[in-house]
Chain A
Amino acid sequence: MADTVIQKAVIRDTVIQAPSTRSSAVDVTTRRRVRRLGPGKRIPFSRGIGPLLLIAVWSIASAAGRLDPRILPAPWSVVDTGWQLWQAGTLGPDLAISLQRAAEGFAFGLVAAVALSLLAGLSRVGAALIDGNVQINRALPILGMIPLFILWLGIGETFKISIIAIAVYIPIYINLSAALSAIDRRYVELAETLGLSRWEFLRQVVIPGALPGFFTGLRLGVTAAWLALVVVEEVNATSGLGYLMYQQASYGLIDSVVVGLAIYGIWGFTSDLIVRLIERRVLSWRSTLDG
């Protein structure tokens, strides 16, 4: 017993005599550290860093001779091939027709998705008639529908735009109608007590409340438009970027195939970026991790 008492006294003694630097060290460790759970400050242009890094690795590997150009040509030879195709006048018209198809299909898909999900989300009858059918449509693979659509519409532009529109409207419909049905009942009550008209209710409560879900759908829809574009252009086409790639591939011109892929990648990345920018402006009221 006596021993332990003495030991304690000694320990206390050393603490008291400890140099002043020690006490400041104690201060730092006793301050409660709060673990940060959010991702932290936004890095400017962070979305571009990943792709740029990928291109850098690709360039280094090619320059070092570690990449067989028959497997994957170097970035500069892809750019060079792209330039040659452009100068030869093959690339320009094909790009234009592809962009037009994607834009038209996207526009039709977007309008259909918004109209259908508003009908299904805001009325019980609409939901009964529409929602089940869209869920079935969603389960049908696009590739499987192509033969039927060719029979119905021929192999012209109508068929291609229809397929793109279908690929676009499904993700937008799914996300938008989920957002519409998730609108807080408390806001509906509020709108009732404030005596809002149906139109004002839509404008002030429903549409802004469903916008976050709409933008999720929109981003998926934009990507779906590019994917569907490749599919329709490679299956049955006589023009367009997909056709060009397919044709060049059959001659074993791998550089041209990579040019096509790179253009699809740039288009997808850019369109997603545009949607994100619009989203950030429109949804500036939100304070989320995205900050």
Chain B
Amino acid sequence: MAKHPGRLTGNPPSVVISSLTRGFGARTVLHGIDLEIPQGQFVALVGRSGSGKSTLLRAIAGIDHEVDGDGAISTPPRVSVVFQDSRLLPWRRVLANVLLGLPRRGPKAREAGERARAALAEVGLAGREDAWPNQLSGGEAQRAALARSLAREPDLLLADEPFGALDALTRIKMHTLLRELWERHGPTVLLVTHDVDEAVLLADRVLVLEEGRFILDLPIDLPQPRSVRDERLVAYRERLLEALGVQLDESVLEEVAS
């Protein structure tokens, strides 16, 4: 069942965060957060909009220069980020986008080129290397972005609502793809999402952030592949929704309506 090393407990930590505080002016967004993620674990971070989940991800990615804050973050050396938009440079062809930041000259250039092509093939974009980004569909663009982060063989993959802008069908395909890629390459994953189903389907562990504090740290102990119809999964889902303060009880809805 637990084929992937990430499922084993006792892996050394990949990400260590201690008393992390972040704020914009007078408004504090993260209140002294502590977090440890073992190597190879697939973690989903859920929370309502404004809960601070993107702020946390950006802090871990180190791209929050303008934000005031305190605390310590330790991450592995190779970190890749997938954003909600594919963020492909429109003036570079797909392959050049995947190659961004990889060695372009010297002995390592050839290997990087091969790795980039392999990454594109893995996400199903073989043959589209010479396309311009504006010729890709939304799903293809996001797959290209995934290939770009894979090609640098990350130890930690940070994903900020990567499927938020995709249609439902494409999203299902992307879930399978992401899970497969994770099983093959084994990076630590932190997936920020507002979609509870997505979190339960994909992650080993779900963190719920509420007003800058973790209010739930829930291990999901279910084998892969998972199905939304699985009763155990439904139970996890309900627990998360409850933590997020979403009332699903119909009697409550009726009370509100009357």
1/0 contact string of A180-215 vs chain B (CB within 8 Å): 000000110111111110001000110011010000
Q: Is B208 an interface residue (CB 8 A)?
A: no
Chain B residues 127 to 172 lying within 8 A of chain A, measured CB to CB, are: 132-134, 148, 152
Nearest 5 pairs between A and B by C-beta?
A194-B101, A208-B91, A193-B81, A190-B87, A285-B91
Residues of B within 8 A of A286 (CB): 90
Q: Is A287 an interface residue (CB 8 A)?
A: yes
- Tell me the complex Cα distance, A195–B61, Å: 11
Chain A residues 168 to 186 lying within 8 A of chain B, measured CB to CB, are: 186
Residues of B within 8 A of A186 (CB): 83, 85, 87
Cβ-defined contact, A187 with B87, below 8 A:
yes
Chain B residues 83 to 99 lying within 8 A of chain A, measured CB to CB, are: 83, 85, 87, 89-92
Checking A193, A208, A211, A287 against B92 with a beta-carbon cut-off of 8 angstroms, the contacting residue is: A208
What is the interface of chain A mostly: helix, strand, loop, or mixed? helix
- Tell me the complex Cα distance, A168–B85, Å: 39
1/0 contact string of B63-95 vs chain A (CB within 8 Å): 100000000000000011101010101111000
Give min CB distance, A2 to chain B, whole Å: 45
- Tell me the complex Cα distance, A204–B97, Å: 9
Cβ-defined contact, A208 with B63, below 8 A:
no
Checking B79, B92, B132 against A204 with a beta-carbon cut-off of 8 angstroms, the contacting residue is: B92
Residues of A within 8 A of B81 (CB): 190, 193
Give min CB distance, A288 to chain B, whole Å: 10
What is A's interface to B at a CB cutoff of 8 Å? 186-187, 189-196, 200, 204-205, 208-209, 211, 283, 285-287
Other 13 A-B pairs with CB < 8 A, given A190-B87, A192-B62: A186-B87, A189-B87, A190-B89, A192-B63, A193-B63, A193-B79, A194-B100, A195-B101, A196-B100, A204-B89, A204-B92, A205-B89, A209-B91
Cβ-defined contact, A190 with B132, below 8 A:
no
Identify which of B91, B92, B132, B152 gathers the most chain A CB atoms within 10 Å of its CB.
B91
Residues of B within 8 A of A285 (CB): 90-92, 132-134
Give min CB distance, A100 to chain B, whole Å: 35
Identify which of A187, A204, A287 gathers the most chain B CB atoms within 10 Å of its CB.
A204
Number of contacting residues on B, CB 8 A?
Answer: 20
Cβ-defined contact, A200 with B101, below 8 A:
yes
Checking A190, A194, A204, A287 against B134 with a beta-carbon cut-off of 8 angstroms, the contacting residue is: A287
Specify the chain A residue showing the minimal Cβ separation from B65.
A192
Specify the chain A residue showing the minimal Cβ separation from B82.
A193
- Tell me the complex Cα distance, A191–B148, Å: 12
Cβ-defined contact, B79 with A211, below 8 A:
no
Specify the chain B residue showing the minimal Cβ separation from A203.
B104
- Tell me the complex Cα distance, A124–B19, Å: 33
Specify the chain A residue showing the minimal Cβ separation from B135.
A287
Specify the chain A residue showing the minimal Cβ separation from B79.
A193
- Tell me the complex Cα distance, A196–B90, Å: 17
Checking B89, B133, B152 against A187 with a beta-carbon cut-off of 8 angstroms, the contacting residue is: B89
Checking A189, A196, A283 against B63 with a beta-carbon cut-off of 8 angstroms, the contacting residue is: A189
Residues of A within 8 A of B134 (CB): 285, 287
Cβ-defined contact, B89 with A193, below 8 A:
no
Assess A196 versus B101: contact at CB under 8 Å? Given A190-B83, A287-B134. Answer: yes
Cβ-defined contact, B91 with A211, below 8 A:
yes
Residues of A within 8 A of B133 (CB): 285
Give min CB distance, B116 to chain A, whole Å: 13
Cβ-defined contact, B87 with A204, below 8 A:
no
Residues of A within 8 A of B62 (CB): 192-193
Q: Can you name 28 A-B residue pairings with CB atoms under 8 Å?
A: A186-B85, A186-B87, A187-B87, A187-B89, A189-B63, A189-B83, A190-B81, A190-B83, A190-B87, A190-B89, A190-B100, A191-B101, A192-B63, A193-B79, A194-B148, A194-B152, A195-B101, A196-B100, A196-B101, A204-B89, A204-B100, A205-B89, A208-B91, A283-B91, A285-B90, A285-B92, A285-B134, A287-B134
- Tell me the complex Cα distance, A186–B85, Å: 9
Specify the chain B residue showing the minimal Cβ separation from A189.
B63
Residues of B within 8 A of A190 (CB): 81, 83, 87, 89, 100
Give min CB distance, A196 to chain B, whole Å: 5
Identify which of A189, A190, A283, A285 gathers the most chain B CB atoms within 10 Å of its CB.
A190
Cβ-defined contact, B101 with A208, below 8 A:
no
1/0 contact string of B92-115 vs chain A (CB within 8 Å): 100000001100000000000000
Specify the chain B residue showing the minimal Cβ separation from A211.
B91
Specify the chain A residue showing the minimal Cβ separation from B62.
A192
Residues of B within 8 A of A192 (CB): 62-63
- Tell me the complex Cα distance, A208–B132, Å: 14
- Tell me the complex Cα distance, A287–B133, Å: 11
- Tell me the complex Cα distance, A209–B83, Å: 20
- Tell me the complex Cα distance, A17–B85, Å: 57
Chain B residues 37 to 63 lying within 8 A of chain A, measured CB to CB, are: 61-63
- Tell me the complex Cα distance, A209–B134, Å: 15
